[in-house]
Structure 1
Amino acid sequence: MWLASPALPIGGFSYSEGLEAAVQAAHVTTEDEAARWLVQQLHLTQARGDMAAVAQALAAWRHGDLARVQQLNDWVLATRETSELRLQTEQMGRSLTEWLKNRHTGHAAAMPQVQWLAARNPSYPMAFALAAHLTAAQTRDALLAYAFGWAENMVQAAIKAVPLGQNAGQRILARLTGEIPAAVAHAQALPDAARQAFSPMLAILSARHEHQYSRLFRS
């Protein structure tokens, strides 16, 4: 539950993951368009990519398979198609790893894993997987928390960027919440060969956002 909180000091609130550029391009101008955009993003990018990587990394952390964690971390970093998206996952990964250092200071069992990850340019999904592992969370519960934390941040971005009212934001969050269990199940079922990161329009919008004249968000 704590890991899903937007108050976690990792900077997630400062990113829109291309949504701000979609608003600028008039792809998202209403509550319904924002909801459909985010539902599609949940299923097409999160469930097939980062959430699947989190699920696989959780298993690796449990078994002490650091080579596997490194492989998954390299994959996440390689799938970032623009500099701002790569900087996002690197910044959030570093911040969550630093939070874990403070949280687990003096915990002999946890600190070697945290320190190992801190030395390897951690992506956010790998840091989240470690954080969830240290709570002994089951994979499904960890992915539900990951997806809901993502959804809350994205809804807040939509409220500011479209813009929308708070009630509209709650309705969008309700739609996303209804979609999250299926996205989690899909992510858990994906093997390495089926995990993917292919969302060309999102990549194009992100590249445009890097040079957008006026913006609120870092991605």
Structure 2
Amino acid sequence: MSGYQLALQQLTDSALPTGAFAHSLGFEAYIERGLVHDEESFGVWLAAFVGQQLTYSDALAIRFLYDGVPVGELDSLLTAQLLPRQVREASVKMGNRLLEIGAEIFPSPGLAEYRELVASGRGAGHQPLAFAVITRSLSVPLTEALAAYLFATVTSLTQNAVRAIPLGQNAGQRLLRKAADDVDAAAERASQLTPDDFGSVSPGLEISQMRHERQRARMFMS
């Protein structure tokens, strides 16, 4: 087993206390409108989210950091292009927790630099960038880092959907198996995109995420 494999498993484990269990990243608004209500309809939403928003924001940010774009520059770009307030705040809340956890268990000069940017107010501390800084310091190859991050996000969202819709545990596992192909496709697409593609996401997803801010009853923070 490669030296980074166990560390990567720890970083993507659902038990990592970043607060992912508290976020739907917009699918709860679809539940409220009756558009997501079962295994099939959630699978449609999940495929759209992975193929669009997750690919063109988080995955692309990870790739650009591996390409050598300064983390402070990418942090500013992510803050600007994550238009829905709750999704932006979710990225920052989970990112700051990951920075804190990483500083204790996977310290590195790159991680210390990013934490200093955040502490000084020159950065927000976004989740995909915190993840990428840690995985790059552990010498995780880009392709593996991308796939791991994307699938960890899919896993947390599916677990949240199992509780919220609700779905059975077997349905959750079927969804994860189907989503594996979407994750592979998203990682491949992110490796080919350009800076002009950064933030090119579906307006429908963003509008639904904005509606969630004023939803009367909800289980999730986003």
TM-score (norm 2): 0.89
Q: Deviations over 1:159-179 (max 9, x none)?
A: 122111101111111110122
CA shift in 2, pair 1:129/1:196, >3 Å = same
Is 1:193 aligned with 2:211?
no
Distance (Å, rounded) in 1 between the aligned partners of 2:146 and 2:13 = 14
Q: Is the 8 A contact 1:117 1:127 kept in 2?
A: no
Does 2:89 align with 1:87?
Answer: yes
Question: Following superposition of structure 1 onto structure 2, how do residues 69-148 of structure 1 map, counting pairs within 5 Å?
Answer: 69-104=71-106, 109=109, 112-119=112-119, 120-148=123-151
Q: Secondary structure at the match of 1:164?
A: coil
User: How far apart, in 1, do the equivalents of 2:83 and 2:200 lie?
Assistant: 9
Distance 1:181 1:82 in 2: 26
- Kindly indicate whether the alpha-carbon contact (under 8 Å) linking 1:100 and 1:114 is maintained by their aligned counterparts in 2: no
Decide whether the 8 Å contact of 1:44 with 1:199 is kept in 2.
yes
Task: Give the C-alpha shift of residue 114 in structure 1.
Answer: 4.7
Question: Contact between 1:143 and 1:184, CA under 8 Å: does it hold in 2?
Answer: yes
The separation in 2 between residues aligned to 1:190 and 1:169, in whole angstroms, is: 30
**Partner amino acid, structure 1, of 2:72:** Q
Q: Which amino acid aligns with 2:89?
A: L
Stretches of structure 1 lacking an aligned partner (at least 5 in a row):
none
Runs of 4+ in 1 over 4 A off after TM superposition: none
Unaligned runs of 5+ in 2: 1-8
Count of residues in Structure 1 that have an aligned counterpart in Structure 2: 211
Q: Alpha carbons of 1:111 and 1:189: their partners in 2 closer, same or farther (altered >3 Å)?
A: closer
- Contact 2:158-2:175 within 8 A present in 1 as well: yes
Q: Which amino acid aligns with 1:168?
A: A
Over the matched positions of the two proteins, sequence identity in percent amounts to 30
1:40-83 Cα distance to aligned partner (Å, 9 max, x none): 110011112210111111232xxxx6xx2211111111112222
Distance in 2 (CA, whole Å) between partners of 1:103 and 1:167 is: 33
Match for 2:116: what amino acid?
Answer: W
Q: Structure 1 170/104 Cα, relative in aligned 2: closer, same or farther at 3 Å?
A: closer
Would the alpha carbon gap of residues 74 and 164 (structure 1) be closer, same or farther in structure 2, given more than 3 Å must change? same
Following superposition, the deviation at residue 88 of structure 1 comes to 0.4
Paired residue type of 1:216: M
Q: How far apart in 1 are the matches of 2:186 and 2:177?
A: 15
Shift of 1:117: 4.3
What is the rounded CA distance, in whole Å, between the counterparts of 1:89 and 1:23 in structure 2?
Answer: 22
2:42 corresponds to 1:34: yes
Letter in 2 for 1:101: A
Distance 1:7 1:183 in 2: 24
Task: Give 1:181 shift.
Answer: 1.1
The Cα of 1:152 is off from its aligned counterpart by 0.3
Distance in 2, matches of 1:111 and 1:16, equals 27
TM-score, length-scaled by structure 1: 0.90
Distance in 1 between residues matched to 2:64 and 2:216, nearest whole Å: 39
**Quick one: distance in 2 between partners of 1:73 and 1:111?**
13
Instruction: Tell me which moved more, 199-208 or 27-36.
Output: 199-208
Inter-partner Cα distance in structure 2 for 1:183 and 1:138: 16
Give the match for residue 150 of structure 1. Answer: 153
